[in-house]
Amino acid sequence: MRKIILFGVAAVMSFSLTATSVSAALTEFQIQSILTLLQSFGVDQAVLNNVNGALRGQAASSPVSSIFCFDFNRNLKFGDGLNELEETNVRNLQTALEKEGFPVSDAEKKGGAVFQEATASAVVGFQEKYRAEILAPNGLPRGTGYVGPATRAKLDKLYGCTAADSDKSPDYSVKPPYNITPQSYPDLFVPGVGKGIYGGGSVSCIYGTEPDPLTCKSTVSNRTVYHDHCANPSQLNEAFVRGDGRLEAHGVFPPSGYICEKGRFIAVPTTANPSVAFVSEPKAGSGGSVLIKRGDKIVFTGTPVDLPGKLGVDYERAFLFDPIFNGVCSNTDWVLTCTPTATGEGDVYILLYKGGQTYRSDVIHVVVSP
């Protein structure tokens, strides 16, 4: 099935540069469907613009750009990549990480991009490379491997295709299925500016002047935040511009452990946070370091605390380690066994992903001597 889809994309791209005479036979819905398909594969904005123009009978404006760009508007975590939308986001994340000098193993890229240990380790490296912008403002001493708002903001600054939301409201929604360019539609969701015809259902009203986008009842004052609006604690509405220029809202449900409040998802407080007791054999000293010889075996064992539920369903777990351990480790359940073949030093620890939060075990620092 994937080969058929990719062939279709190639055919559309070829068509966009040569065949404009058949554009009259395409409906607006068909044009938007083609653009949506291209977007799902991370096609460059310049290509999308040329395809859009060709489908409407316009000449291509410029040669196809080879510059990589992608809008990182979804939080990503260990285990993502199981559906087409997640795979697109993970694949572009891996591309950005490799452009930053953090390689991802072929096993996590071939046959569909998946977010596993190598990707998580690369994310940690990226976060620590830009520590001042990602970690320090959040009081984090080390990278987490979780691609949250701060990491996405840096990725978008480096590789984003569109301008940032100028009212600073966080975007927890998927990208709307329309070709929206900041040149044609600047940020319409700034307080006092975000007015437009709302195209929800069979009614029309001014988005931002109604108490609820679903009922469209008029009110005297405008909203203070237009981009993100909590319809109720269980639904966040994202406003966006449609292909015809009208505004519309897209409902998003919060992940497990979160509620919608004041235009954003917030974590529901819990009585106890999960944690992992992490030890090694040979044992690490009081400073968390252990010395072994090249070729010797070292075994790391994690013991979960306050972590009910099933691994891979209620939470995800990842062993994180520095490059010195690449290709020399294997794990069974909560046990990681490594036999280093090179000298040097590196850190090993466990990350837990649960309810959109990241929890880290203690770090064991390993020094491998000749």
Is 175 a member of any domain? no
User: Could you report the per-residue pLDDT of 213-228, keeping only the tens digit for each?
Assistant: 433 333 222 332 334 5
For residues 294 and 363, membership in a common domain is answered with: yes
Question: What's the sign of the alpha-carbon dihedral 217, 220, 225, 230?
Answer: negative
Give residue 127's domain range. 84-159
Asked if residues 54 and 11 have their Cβ atoms less than 8 Å apart, the reply is no
For residues 103 and 142, membership in a common domain is answered with: yes
Instruction: Say which CATH number the domain at 337 has.
Output: 2.60.40.10
Task: Report DSSP letters for 60-87, one per residue.
Answer: --SPPP--------S-B-TT--SSHHHH
**Is the bond into 255 cis (omega within 30 degrees of 0)?**
no
Is 75 a member of any domain? no
Q: Whole-number mean pLDDT of the chain?
A: 68
Question: What is the number of structural domains in the chain?
Answer: 4
Which of 55, 70, 94 terminates a domain? The answer is 55
Q: What is the residue whose two structure tokens read 């596993």?
A: 116
Is 247 a member of any domain? yes
Q: Token pair of 206, please?
A: 């001014």
For residues 106 and 126, membership in a common domain is answered with: yes
Is 88 a member of any domain? yes
Is residue 19 scored above 70 in pLDDT?
Answer: no
Is 63 a member of any domain? no
User: Could you report the per-residue pLDDT of 184-211, keeping only the tens digit for each?
Assistant: 333 333 333 233 333 343 334 343 433 4
Q: Three-class SS of residue 161?
A: coil
For residues 121 and 138, membership in a common domain is answered with: yes
Is residue 343 scored above 80 in pLDDT?
Answer: yes
Is residue 296 scored above 80 in pLDDT?
Answer: yes
Q: Three-class SS of residue 19?
A: coil
Can you give the pTM of this predicted structure? 0.38
Is 343 a member of any domain? yes
Is 246 a member of any domain? yes
For residues 213 and 252, membership in a common domain is answered with: yes
Question: What does the pLDDT read at residue 353?
Answer: 82
Asked if residues 72 and 94 have their Cβ atoms less than 8 Å apart, the reply is no
For residues 281 and 338, membership in a common domain is answered with: yes
Distances from the Cα of 320 to the Cα of 118, 125, 259, 264, angstroms: 8, 11, 30, 30
Mean pLDDT value of segment 133-158: 90
Question: Between residues 254 and 304, which one has the greater pLDDT?
Answer: 304
Task: Report DSSP letters for 293-361, one per residue.
Answer: ETT--EEEEEEEES--S-BTTTBEEEEEE-GGGTTSEEEETTEEEE---S-EEEEEEEEEEETTEEEE-
Is 186 a member of any domain? no
For residues 286 and 256, membership in a common domain is answered with: no
Mean pLDDT value of segment 75-81: 89
